[in-house]
Chain A
Amino acid sequence: MATPFVPQAIGIRAPSPNWPGYLGEGYTLRSWLVTHDHKRIAILYMLAITAFFFVGGAAATMMRLELATPQADLVSAETYNKLFTIHGVVMVWFFLIPSIPSVLGNFLVPLMIGAKDMAFPRLNLASWYIYVLGGIFTVAALIAGGVDTGWTFYTPYSTRFSDSNVILVILGVFIVGFSSILTGLNIVVTTHKLRAPGLTWFRLPLFVWANYATSLILLLATPVLAMTLTLVGLERFFGIGIFDPALGGDPLLFQHLFWFYSHPAVYIMVLPAMGVASEIIPCFARRTVFGYHFMAYAIFGIASIGFLVWGHHMFVSGQSMYAGMVFSMLSFMVAIPSAIKVFNWTATLYKGSIYFSAPMLYALGFVGLFTIGGLTGLFLASLALDVHLTDTYFVIAHFHYIMVGGSVMMYLGALHFWWPKISGRMYPEILARIAALTIFFGFNLTFFPQYLLGWLGMPRRYHEYPPELQVLNLFSSAGAAVLAVGYLLPLFYLAWSLFWGKRAPANPWGATGLEWQTASPPPKHNFEQEPVVTQGPYAYDPVR
């Protein structure tokens, strides 16, 4: 019988005790900066997005500190506006969107389909440099004094009224979009062309399905964002009237274009997280995922209906009442496949043999938080309720349950689950479980009170608020402190494990995917010989 917490390792061992795998293909800075290896590029992405995560996190910490009291005492109105703008811009475009696809998708998709590398290795490296260039523009805007439009850049404020560095930030986001497009293209082509013999579409792990669907959204939606931001730039810089009614434009046109990208962008953030949950839960429940086909269809259902719901951000914007009704109906429809996924993950636990390793704690937390985030989304899809709740803390709580409770939880879960494969080392299990529980607790303490604040009518983007709302705000700020500790813990112990962690076997979790059938860390071209696939994924057996 296995130990109660960690399933038995099975499979092959590394060729030698000190096997460095792809990490040993060169130790110079140059060997990293000109690499074509998808695994190394994934690590470059990991370093870059981690840096941005802590920039965005610092801004959020300052905001929560300011909101501990109803008066403006820590920062001025202007500074607060710049803080939430930079928090949004950095977390959305420089952390969440590239998090799972560009780091873990990049690392794992070729391994999971038995390929040597991505279809376009040079393009893969180029996309990282484009990301860095976009990042430089954004950081430059920060250093030059910040920007105060909110991450949504609503016109005509962004084009005519804000006197902050709008153009610089727009350029940064415009550029980083191309990095998304190229990564998406690479994952789509890789999935189509480089699957190992025998690996049919319905033998693909759901993580690959999710990254494939995400990549299609990246390809189709990101160009719309690029165009929209270009138009904002043209109006701001040259006074060409597109969105400003004083110049003959229409401000609602901006909102339609912006949300046509930014709503699907939510699915860019959460679909890969769903893919990760679908890998971790079967592994630690020792059960095949319940309803594999429905799970794959649900991913595509979400990705396609997700393109048709953007108008639900605009129920009080002055768009036609009938348009509101159509978008409301479609928003309920997109909730159906999400519900299916939650039920299937729960059913996967039935008759399993469940181990509570750190990745599983993250995954179980993810399912719970995603459920709450999804159900509260139904409130916002309901037209009459949205009138009261939109642009309040209810919305803030809702999308943080999806993006932080969902995507960030699963990014961390994935990082732990595949850490042995990525680094060749085991992370410290007890500390990791403590961190997972700290984050879960801190997250709920931060964001659950915000649902109540929203229902009580506290508008978002306020640095001052009615004094009767202070108690709930204090809970939220206290939670943010716990959350900050929770996020710092993995930073330290994962770095520690790189040097002092126990060496990882090829398959420490007894998992099924192809990525576990090669050494940890894998060699430069992933497999010593091309694997042949003879069955579907998740062939787990709870009884064994």
Chain B
Amino acid sequence: MRWLPVAASDTAARVDLLFYSMVVITGVVALGVFVLMIYFCVHYRAGSGADRANPPPRKKWLELGWTLTPLAIFIGIFVWAAVVYACFYRRGDDAMTIFVVGKQWMWKAEHANGRREIDELHLPLGQPVRIVLSTEDVIHSFYVPAFRIKQDAVPGRYTSIRFTPTREGEYWLHCAEYCGTDHARMGGKVVVMAPTAFAQWLERGSGNASLAAQGFELFRQLGCSGCHVNSTVHAPDLTGVYGRTIHLSDGRTLIADEAYLRDSILLPKRDVVAGYEPIMPSFQGQLDEGQLYALITYLKENR
């Protein structure tokens, strides 16, 4: 029986410090209120000889005091919690990206080199990891209590969360957003390994081509290359598209990220690039989430 959860990531250490500080702060407040209540109840019980003369009807300084003091404390906690929260979503090239798809009722993960696993996730110790999430059906939520991270996988979009495992071992992986009959059984374990052991593990099982290679294959099969590579059809060249600033025909500009590439494949009429006709067909329903992400990975690496 454990009374406190294991902390196995950099985020867990930060969250725990905040949590236990909050326990102390709120504990002091609660204790103060309860001690006063009990003292008053005993001291001023009916029939006691306590002095009840001149009870204060109201005291402005007291009321202002117990309004402004919590306000100051709350602002402090808010800022602290928001700063830690922002770390979960920090972008940076140093993180290893792993693609995870939720599906009633399993988690499917795919590493960059093409190694796949189901209801398990192997991670190297000390390496920043960015989990990119998607789902084939309903909303799921990727939850590893030992890392103190949780992120919903939402149909029709990518979400992501970032952390660094800091302790070797096996930890629970759950689905935290109710997703139907076997919601409670959706999950498994996360295995944090020493970097060398992880590298060996990663090599052992990859019978598949890497995600980018799979994406390149799809790029040709689906005919994307027919229009987007040296073609007579007027379509934007996709070399180095990821991270580029895109000017749209309606005047908006945006940065080409995973979400933009996803939308451009499935909903090509939504964000039409300036200077091009909206002639691209939608690929909605022709790709599963894994294929779609492989395609995007290819585009990301095609510099």
Contacts and interface: CB of A to CB of B under 8 A. Distances in A.
Given A2-B47, A382-B22, A459 B176 contact: yes
B155 interface: yes
B154 A385 contact: no
Contacts of B83: 384
B209 interface: no
B2 A332 contact: no
Given A4-B47, A391-B141, A349 B37 contact: yes
A245 B270 CA distance: 14
Interface stretch (A122-130, A257-265, A363-371): A363-371
Given A246-B156, A316-B150, 16 more contacts: A291-B58, A321-B89, A332-B78, A350-B55, A351-B55, A352-B52, A353-B46, A371-B30, A375-B26, A382-B22, A385-B19, A387-B15, A388-B148, A455-B19, A457-B5, A457-B172
Interface stretch (B65-73, B114-122, B199-207, B216-224): B65-73
A77 interface: yes
A265 B188 CA distance: 36
Interface of B: 1-5, 11, 14-15, 18-19, 22, 26, 29-30, 33-34, 36-37, 40-41, 44-47, 50-53, 55-58, 62-63, 66-67, 70-71, 74-75, 77-78, 80-89, 104, 137-139, 141, 143, 145-146, 148-152, 154-157, 159, 172, 174-185, 284
A80 B84 CA distance: 36
Interface string A67-79: 0000010000110
A105 B75 CA distance: 36
A154 B177 contact: yes
27 contacts: A2-B46, A154-B139, A156-B138, A156-B139, A157-B179, A161-B138, A244-B155, A288-B57, A293-B58, A316-B151, A316-B152, A324-B85, A336-B71, A342-B33, A351-B44, A351-B52, A353-B44, A378-B22, A381-B78, A383-B84, A383-B85, A384-B81, A384-B87, A385-B18, A460-B176, A464-B184, A543-B53
Contacts of B86: 321
A388 B150 contact: yes
Contacts of A379: 19, 22, 26
Nearest to A252: B154
Contacts of B46: 2, 4-5, 7, 286, 353-355
Given A316-B151, A339-B66, A387-B149, A371 B33 contact: yes
B176 A392 contact: yes
Contacts of A392: 176
Contact of A329 (B30, B78, B139, B176): B78
Given A316-B141, A318-B154, A463-B184, A385 B15 contact: yes
Contact of B137 (A161, A292, A325, A371): A161
A340 interface: yes
A332 to B, nearest CB: 4
A246 B155 contact: yes
B284 to A, nearest CB: 8
Contacts of A343: 33, 66
B77 A378 contact: yes
Contacts of A372: 30
Contacts of A385: 15, 18-19, 22, 81
Interface residues of A, number: 97
B57 A4 contact: no
B40 A352 contact: yes
A509 B176 CA distance: 49
A462 B182 CA distance: 9
A379 B74 CA distance: 11
B44 A77 contact: no
Contacts of A456: 2-5, 145
Interface stretch (A209-217, A407-415, A465-473, A491-499): A465-473
Interface in A498-544: 542-543
A285 B37 CA distance: 12
Given A2-B47, A291-B58, A318-B157, A391 B36 contact: no
A317 B152 CA distance: 5
Closest 4 CB pairs of A and B: A457-B145, A245-B156, A382-B81, A384-B84
Contacts of A44: none
B202 to A, nearest CB: 27
B178 A154 contact: yes
